[in-house]
A and B are shown apart, each in its own frame.
Chain A
Amino acid sequence: MLLFRAEEHVEKWCADWNLSRGETLSPDKCWQLAKVWYSADRREPDWRRRTADEAESLFSELGLTSPFWRLLPS
C-alpha cells in the first residue's frame, strides 16, 4: 500500500507496473483503518489474529464494502 500525490499518479504507477488499478482511500480513511486494525496490544497472551469474518466486518464498518475487501467466498 503506497501513498500517491494524486489519482493520476496511481494510474501511471499501475500502467508502469502493468497492474490493474486497486482501490484508493483518503489518508484519513487509511488512518481510521490503521487505528482499528493495529490498536490491539500484540504483547498480550490473549491477542489473536482476526478471523476473515471479523476482518470483513471491520472493513464493512468503515464503509469498505466492495468485492475488493471481501475475504470470504460469496
Chain B
Amino acid sequence: MTAGQEKADFDKEVRRVVYDFTMREGAPPTSERVAENLSTAPSDVKSSFARLADAHILVLQKGNGEILMANPFSAVVTPFLVNVGNRSYYGNCIWDAMGIPAMLGADARISTSCGCCRTAMEATIKDGALAEASGVVHFAIPAARWWDDIVFN
C-alpha cells in the first residue's frame, strides 16, 4: 500500500469516527477524542482534519485546527438549534438544520429566528416530511461560490 492510500484510508476512518461521534453526541469531536478512539496521535488526526478540510468535507476553526463544521453539524452554538428527541444539535444554516433530521432519519424541531428582524421561528420535521414551517429561505450566494467563504455562507 502506498503512503497516499494509507492516508486516504486513515481519512475515511477519521470521517467515520467524526460523524459517528457527532450523530451520537450532538457536536463534532476534538482531535483528541478522535485520536483516543483510533488509538493514534492527535497530530495525525489534525493532519487528517486538514486534508478533509482541503477536500471540503470538514471546515476547521482558524488557528487551532479543530472542527468548526462537519456539515450539516456545527461544533459551536449557532442560531439554528435542532432538537431530536432529548438531544440537541446546531446546524450551520437553515439548510443544514434541516439536513440534520435528514441525516439522522428522525423527527426534529428546528428553532431559529428571522434573519432580518430576529422574530423567533420554528420548523418541524415529522415522519420524513416538513410538518410545520413558515416564511422563505434565502440563499444569498450563488452555488458556484459557496466555498469561497463557507462560514459566511
Instruction: List A residues at the B interface (Cβ < 8 Å).
Output: 1-7, 9-10, 12-14, 16, 19, 21-31, 33-35, 37-39, 41-45, 47, 49, 55, 59, 67-71
Interface SS of chain B: mixed
Least distance between B94 CB and chain A CB atoms (Å)? 5
Measured between beta carbons, the chain B residues less than 8 angstroms from A35 are 98, 102, 128
Contact A23 B139 (CB under 8 A): yes
Whole-angstrom CA separation of A49 from B95 in the bound complex: 17
Contact A13 B102 (CB under 8 A): no
Q: Per a CB cutoff under 8 Å, which of A19, A24, A38, A70 touches B136? A: A24
B3 adjacent to chain A (CB < 8 Å)? no
> Which among B38-46, B59-67, B114-122 touches the partner chain?
B114-122
What residues of chain B lie closer than 8 Å to A37, measured between beta carbons?
95, 99, 102
**Contact across chains for A43 and B143 when beta carbons are under 8 A apart:** no
What's the Cα separation between A58 and B41 when bound, in Å? 39
On whether the beta carbons of B93 and A2 are closer than 8 Å, the reply is: yes
